[in-house]
Structure formats: structure tokens, C-alpha cells
Amino acid sequence: MPRRPLLLSLGLLLAVGGSVVGATAMGSVEVSWTLAARVLWAQLGGPPVDAPVAARIVWQLRLPRAVLALLVGGGLSVVGVAMQALVRNPLAEPYVLGISSGASAGASLFYLGFLPPLVARHVSMPLAAVGGGWATLLVVYAVAQRGARLSIPRLLLAGVALSALMGAVTSFITFASPEPDKLRAVLFWLLGSLSGTQWTMLTVPAVVTLSGGVVLWALARPLDAFLLGEEAALHLGVPVETLKHVLLALAALITGTLVAVSGAIGFVGLIVPHAVRAVVGVPHRRVLPLSFLGGALFLLWADVAARSLLPGQELPVGILTALCGVPFFLMLLRRGTYHFGIS
């Protein structure tokens, strides 16, 4: 690996480690960074810490939330990289196929009591969200399929259309709901939240995100070829149609799983890949792992800000990712040296 990406990787790894300590120390109840580090070290086999309250806060309440932030931020970032390569569009992101809108509609239907009782008794809100996201994707896929070929323009247009439709369904459901307390909870979830995370909630997101990221990294060279166009990729020996289906399946699996546990957190999968490309260039063998680390770090600190800015209450983390991410993204686009794709 060239020196710059290697140094950036090491720097991001160190930053992630230090940020996890900071994220477990900061909050409504302050814990010193030193004590938080000692608690974490004790859980990994170090000497025990005689501070049971701090240990519970750090290990049981804050660390699971920090780990989920790392998984969601990293997962959305690598899916953003894959989608931008698939559709060869710098505006592509994990939600471009309508998965988040479908998941939001499914979660709203469940939480506000609009699902039939027979169905509602056998599903949870995360399962309803995953079902809504996958149902939307299947419609998008059916529209975009032309014989044996998957049309990328149709895929994008169908995704935009279904996103608008599912957004309208969600808006209608929330408008028609007679329960304001539940409505507030759903709106909070729709804007993204990592609150209430427990260790038991992390297994599925961890397995899906990390295994999916490894598969995408193994497909780095075909993704590089994709940026040259489908015909050029075919001439380079890339099975284009097969790769399209694999990328769509991975994107749907990772995004649906993450939206189910965290809600729809925007901009992470859009801005982080561009920021990484601006530093290390286009090759996906570098961009994918660095985007995972960058997205994990970005969302971790956005979540810390979301639960620390207002005393006694918490902001949806999606608000913070937009407030922080959009100005940075606009400044990045103003740079004359940055280009999307191979040039």
C-alpha cells in the first residue's frame, strides 16, 4: 500500500480507538477519559476497577451504542461507495433505491398500529422495517429488469419514484395517527437514533456489515472497472450483470439491516466516500476500508454530539449528520482538484 493511504489507515484506526474511549466518557453523567479507558481495559482482562457505577455506564450503556455507531457509519459508507460505482453517479448513496423510505413506511405502519392484528402479532418494528425496505427494492428491481439485463437508468428512476411514494405513505400514516406520543417516537426514529442500544442488538448488524464489507473489498477490481462503463468492464472480463445483482443484494442486505436498528441516518454514505476519494484517489481497494473507518468515526462523534448538545434531551443523530456533513460536502465540491471516477 502506498505511504499516504497506509498512514491515513493507521491514523484513522488510532482515532477510532481514542474516540471510543471519548464516546464512553462523555454524556449526561461525566466519566473521566482515564476512568473510561481503565473500565474498558478491565473488561478486556486488565486489573479490575473499583467504580461499579462508572463501569455500568461505560460498559453497559455507552459502549454498545458506540459500537453500533461504528457499524452503522462504516456500513453506510461502504454501501455508498458500491452504489456510486454501480450507477456511476456521484450523488448515489445507500438510500438511492428507496430502501430507507420503504423501511420507514414499514416501521411507521407497525408502530402506529396500521398493520393488521394478525401480522402485527408476529413481527417487531425492526422486522417491519426490513420487510418494508425489501418490498420496495423488489418493486424497483422488477421495474428495472429488462430481460436478462438490469437497466441502471431505470433502476435510479424507479428508486426515486418509490422513495417518493413510500415517503408519502409514511407522511399519511403519521398525519392520520391519533397518538401524539407514538408519533413523536416514530419521527425521532425516522431521523435516526442509536438510543437504547444493548449488546444483544449488535450481533446481526456486526455479522452483516463486516461480512458484506469483506465481500465488497474482494470486488474492488471489478468496481474499478465499473467506473469506466459497462462495455469497458465487459471487455476487461467483468461479469457485469452478475456483479450488478451481487451489489444490489449486498446493498439491500446491509442497508436494510442498519436502517432497522438505527433508522434512516442520511448523508454518511454520500459524503464520506467523496472525502476519502479526495485524499487517496479512486481505487476501491483503498477507498472501501478507509471509507468504513471514516464513516464509523464520523457517525460516532455525530452521535456524541446528538446526546450532549441539549441538556436533558437527545437530538436525532440524522440532524447532526446533515448539519455537519452538508457544509463539508459543499466545500469539497468547490475544490478544483477533485473528480469523481477515473480520469
Whole-angstrom CA distances from 325 to 82, 100, 332 are 20, 19, 10
77-86, 239-248, 308-317: segment of lowest average pLDDT = 308-317
Exposed, middle or buried, 212 (CB in 10 Å: 0-12/13-18/19+)? Answer: buried
Query: Furthest-apart CA pair in the chain: how many Å?
Result: 66
Q: What are phi and psi of 98, to 5 degrees?
A: 85, 10
Sign of CA dihedral 126, 128, 134, 137: negative
Contact call for residues 274 and 328 (beta carbons, < 8 A): no
pTM: 0.90
Rounded to whole angstroms, how far apart are CA atoms 114 and 175?
12
pLDDT tens digits for range 1-52: 567 778 888 999 999 999 999 999 988 788 899 999 999 999 888 888 888 8
Q: What is the pLDDT of residue 342?
A: 47
* Cell of residue 325, nine digits: 456533513
- Domain range summary for the chain, segments of one domain joined by +: 3-334
Look up the CATH number of domain 3-334: 1.10.3470.10
What percentage of the chain exceeds 90 in pLDDT? 35
105, amino acid identity: A
Using CA atoms in the order 74, 78, 83, 85, what is the torsion angle rounded to 10 degrees? Answer: 150
